[in-house]
């Protein structure tokens, strides 16, 4: 009987060890899969431009030719290794506002996608026709102010199609959107920020 009890005790002890082993393996798999999930940010796509998890990709978003000429929008997608919100930073809606354009180029080199949770889309120059033509306020092609064209028109003029492309390919995929401006050739402006009244993340907007 004693030996049976001993055997039972040994068996119970074996069961405890087995249970602990199973628990250990479960915890190991669980923490490993958590690491995998945390690192497994989805591939992010803007137009035909793709950035896999942990990648920084720069390319041109194409605005197709309409009844006037087409153009391109140079962008960078910094897709973090970990999942998170999508922030878009836009420069060059007005083509002679160079400070935001240069700022994004500098910022681009300072962000490591492997240390990033979420995704950053940088629009380096939204308005290439205005930038190339050194045109203040309005596009030299359709004489429209891109800043007044949103959400844009698919079949509109070049500025309206740029706005349509940014709205549909970028704004709709963004959780946060910051449109950066500066003084044009003929302007000297003070620093200011404005945001939409009723912003759901008011504490962020107030910053």
* Nearer Cβ to Zn ion (44/131): 131
The least CB distance from residue 172 to Zn ion, in Å, is 22
The least CB distance from residue 97 to Zn ion, in Å, is 5
Residues interacting with Zn ion, by CB under 5 A? Answer: 94, 97, 181
CA distance 61 to 166: 9
* Nearer Cβ to Zn ion (97/160): 97
CA distance 104 to 101: 5
The least CB distance from residue 147 to Zn ion, in Å, is 6
Residues 6 or more apart whose CB falls under 8 angstroms from that of 173 comprise: 44, 46, 86, 121
* Nearer Cβ to Zn ion (83/103): 103
Q: Which residue has the tokens 């107030």?
A: 206
DSSP conformational letter for 151? T
The least CB distance from residue 182 to Zn ion, in Å, is 7
Judged by DSSP in three states, 67 sits in coil
Tokens of 50: 């793709």
CA distance 136 to 182: 12
Tokens of 136: 């203040």
The least CB distance from residue 148 to Zn ion, in Å, is 11
């Amino acid at each position: 009987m004693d030996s049976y009890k001993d055997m039972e005790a040994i068996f119970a002890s074996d069961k405890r060890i087995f249970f602990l082993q199973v628990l250990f393996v479960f915890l190991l798999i669980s923490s490993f899969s958590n690491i995998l999930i945390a690192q497994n940010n989805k591939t992010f796509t803007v137009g035909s431009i793709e950035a896999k998890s942990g990648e920084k990709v720069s390319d041109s978003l194409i605005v197709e030719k309409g009844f006037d000429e087409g153009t391109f929008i140079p962008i960078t997608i910094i897709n973090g290794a970990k999942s998170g919100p999508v922030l878009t930073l836009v420069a060059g809606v007005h083509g002679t506002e160079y400070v935001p354009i240069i700022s994004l180029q500098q910022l681009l080199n300072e962000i490591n996608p492997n240390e990033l949770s979420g995704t950053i889309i940088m629009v380096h120059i939204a308005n290439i026709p205005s930038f190339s033509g050194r045109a203040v306020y309005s596009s030299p092609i359709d004489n429209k102010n891109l800043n007044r064209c949103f959400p844009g028109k698919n079949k509109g003029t070049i500025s309206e199609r740029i706005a349509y492309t940014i709205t549909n390919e970028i704004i709709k995929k963004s959780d946060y959107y910051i449109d950066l401006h500066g003084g044009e050739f003929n302007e000297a402006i003070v620093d200011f920020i404005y945001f939409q009244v009723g912003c759901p993340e008011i504490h962020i907007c107030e910053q």
